[in-house]
Amino acid sequence: MKLSVWLLNLIALPALAINLSGYKKPSEAELKKKLTPLQFEVTQKDGTEPSFKNEYWDNHKEGLYVDVVSGEPLFSSLDKYESGTGWPSFTKPLDPKFVTTKTDRTFGMTRTEVRSAVANSHLGHLFNDGPQPLGTRYCMNSASLKFIPVADLEKAGYGEYLKLFKKK
């Protein structure tokens, strides 16, 4: 494991140390077996799925969205909103330490690409046209995400996030 990933697991992801401390990204062959062709294209080759023809753009259930490759918790349904783009959009990540950004200059434009912090999966792009007060839109590909409903959080190993969904 690269030193930087090991340090990230040790320092930046203490809540996930049990799940990701020994994380080793699968080989390309293993990923091709684990993922659908679309999931592989999106997460490993920086692809984009069709708008309005993806699994989560219109999902209104409560729960978490995690990286389809590593299981890193990325977004909460509490921060999801209807952006009109046809992709799942969020105002913010569950925690900024779970995502990284980099400049993307493909297709003759400059955008901010969003990737998962540990698995380095391509997730989508960040735009500054979201709702206030943050004004951010994390426009994600459903193919890079796995949705865990609230009822399954404990069983799936994400029980620590149940408190987010407790009604006050």
Neighbouring C-beta atoms of residue 26, cutoff 10 Å:
15
CA distance 123 to 118: 12
Do residues 139 and 49 touch, judged by C-beta distance below 8 A? Answer: no
Q: Is the pLDDT of residue 125 over 60?
A: yes
Active-site positions?
A: 139
Task: Choose between 18 and 159: higher pLDDT.
Answer: 159
CA distance 158 to 73: 8
Q: What pTM was estimated for this model as a whole?
A: 0.86
Predicted local confidence at residue 151, as pLDDT: 97
Domain ranges of the chain: 26-165
**CATH of region 26-165, choose from 2.40.160.20, 2.120.10.30, 3.40.50.300, 2.170.150.20:** 2.170.150.20
Predicted local confidence at residue 2, as pLDDT: 38
Task: Choose between 125 and 5: higher pLDDT.
Answer: 125
- What are the tens digits of pLDDT across the range 51-88? 999 999 999 999 999 999 999 999 999 999 999 999 99
- What are the tens digits of pLDDT across the range 87-99? 999 999 999 999 9
